[in-house]
Structure 1
Amino acid sequence: MRAIVYLSGPILAGILLAGCGQEQAQTAIAANAPLKTFPRATTLRGTVSDNTGPVKAGTVTLSTEAGKVLTSLELQDSQRYEIEAPAGTPLPVLLTYAPPPGKSGDTMTSVVIYPEISKYDINPTTTAIAKSAKAMGGYNHNNLVRAAENTAHVPDANKTTAGFRGDPTTQYGGWH
């Protein structure tokens, strides 16, 4: 008995490129990855803090990776924010905190890559993870996990050969 196997375009491209450099194969497969979007308007929420504690004044902006501002809000004497991502917004998007005019402080960033997750804190660790992932080639799951592993302290008991045991994004102040 013979079995016939049909391969889809991205799988076939990955197999054909397997003999090429691994970096080229990953690039080719990533280019064929489906675009994720927010299926409906989604409220993103979280807190803003810096190395000294809660940040209660400034602007939180939601923007595309290309820098197009989707919406923004002013913190109102609270470190908590809620901001709405419009339906159909392509991911990744960035949540960026900027201090109020005339006040000192650093701009901080958190990256949103999953439409089903709505809690994203913004702090120096999420900023370091975002910068590291961008330097690795962009905001995707693999780069963000690698960046989180390299940026945040992860107890050896919580690591596995595949990465984190559990959710690295909440356990280690990561990019979630």
Structure 2
Amino acid sequence: MKDLVYCSMSRLRMATVVFALLVLSTACSEAEKPASKPAVPVSISGSMTGEDGPVKEAKLTATDRNGEVIATVEVNSGPRYRIELPAGVAYPVIISALYPRSTKVVESGQGEIKAAIMKASSSTVELSPKSTSIVDIAMARGGLTPENFKSASLAILNQGSGGSGGMPYQGGH
């Protein structure tokens, strides 16, 4: 009887070790997976505001986390835009808009505003000097990681509310 109990305990320990290894290997393989890539296209829309007001004309470009251009669209009729991101995109995605500047800011040239989309979801994204600063600060802190994006967003939001925890505003969205 004693041998039977010992054998059962030994099998139980072995089963526990095998189960633990399976759980551990699954957790490791999940951590090694690349960022999620949606199986369907994602629609992003919003408005554009430059240094001197609403942007009426712009060329929008969406780039994935590898810097590859994944979508472009021209806007010629006002500050509202819509851009379709294809299925299988690697997030985060940066949407940037190049637009002609008015003489209120400079004699000529182009302005650029941008925003980051951290995960796949159809949403409204406003392109403005503040969203541009958030992207620039996150990139300066080491890239568009969720942590850098969050701290850059808080820095810009705290700046507008008079909080002392934010970085100084670094110019144009």
TM-score, length of structure 2 as denominator length: 0.67
Which residue matches 1:92?
92
Alignment pair present for 1:150 and 2:166: no
SS at match of 1:107: strand
Alignment pair present for 1:123 and 2:139: no
SS at match of 1:138: coil
Which residue matches 1:60?
60
Deviations, residues 106-134 of structure 1 (Å, cap 9, x unaligned): 21211111112421111111111101111
Alignment pair present for 1:8 and 2:13: no
Distance 1:155 1:99, change over 3 A: closer
Which residue matches 1:161?
none
Separation in 2, partners of 1:97, 1:10: 41
Separation in 2, partners of 1:117, 1:137: 26
* More moved, 85-94 vs 34-43: 34-43
Q: Please state which structure has a larger fraction of its residues in helix.
A: 2
SS at match of 2:116: strand
Tell me if the contact between 1:47 and 1:80 (Cα under 8 Å) persists in the aligned partners.
yes
Distance 1:152 1:66, change over 3 A: same
Which residue matches 1:160?
none
Which residue matches 1:163?
none
Kindly provide the amino acid, as one letter, of the partner of residue 114 in structure 2: T
SS at match of 1:99: strand
Q: How does 1:1-176 map to 2 (within 5 A)?
A: 6=20, 8=24, 32=32, 34-100=34-100, 103-153=108-158, 155=161
Tell me if the contact between 1:46 and 1:82 (Cα under 8 Å) persists in the aligned partners.
yes
**Identity in percent:** 22
Separation in 2, partners of 1:59, 1:75: 6
Cα offset, 1:51, TM superposition: 2.8
Kindly provide the amino acid, as one letter, of the partner of residue 24 in structure 2: S
Deviations, residues 8-32 of structure 1 (Å, cap 9, x unaligned): 35967xxxxxxxxxxxxxxxx9x73
TM-score, length of structure 1 as denominator length: 0.66
Structure 2 gaps of 5+ residues are 1-11, 102-106, 163-173
Separation in 2, partners of 1:113, 1:48: 19
SS at match of 1:142: helix
* More moved, 108-117 vs 32-41: 32-41
Q: CA RMSD in A?
A: 3.1
Separation in 2, partners of 1:70, 1:77: 23
Distance 1:106 1:9, change over 3 A: farther
Structure 1 gaps of 5+ residues are 13-28, 157-176
